[in-house]
Amino acid sequence: MKLFLLIQDESLTERLLGLTEMFPEPVRNFGYNVGTCLYTCIKGNYFLKPNFTKCFLFLAFYLFASYLIFCFLLLEKS
């Protein structure tokens, strides 16, 4: 099985620049605003409650990783 991550035609920056060209400006602005808001909220919560923030980030990562594993298993079966 060939992984698409091992075969790279473009660098990460080229791919991200391609994505920014694909979406209209309002969508890019919305994504930027959501990202900066998340960064600010996580930074502020970590300063106030580090244990809660670590638990929340670990739970989010765990749920996302399990979803990715489930998707890869589905792709492997088909």
Residue 64: inside a domain, yes or no? yes
Burial class (CB in 10 A: 0-12, 13-18, 19+), 48: exposed
Q: Rounded to 5 degrees, what angle do the CA atoms 69, 6, 77 make?
A: 35
Q: Is the pTM of this model over 0.75?
A: no
* Phi, psi torsion values for 11, nearest 5 degrees: -80, 170
Range of the domain at 30: 25-77
Task: Tell me the helices (H) and strands (E) count for the chain, helix number first.
Answer: 3, 0
Tally of structural domains, the chain: 1
In a domain, 12, yes or no: no
Q: Please indicate, yes or no, if residue 53 is contained in any of the structural domains.
A: yes
Token reading at 3 = 């992984």
Ordered per-residue pLDDT tens for the chain, 78 residues: 455 555 567 777 777 777 777 878 888 889 889 889 888 887 876 666 777 777 878 888 888 888 888 888 888 887
Q: Identify whether 32 is part of a domain.
A: yes
2: in domain: no
CA 27 to the chain's CA centroid: 16
Question: Does residue 48 belong to any structural domain of this protein?
Answer: yes
In a domain, 59, yes or no: yes
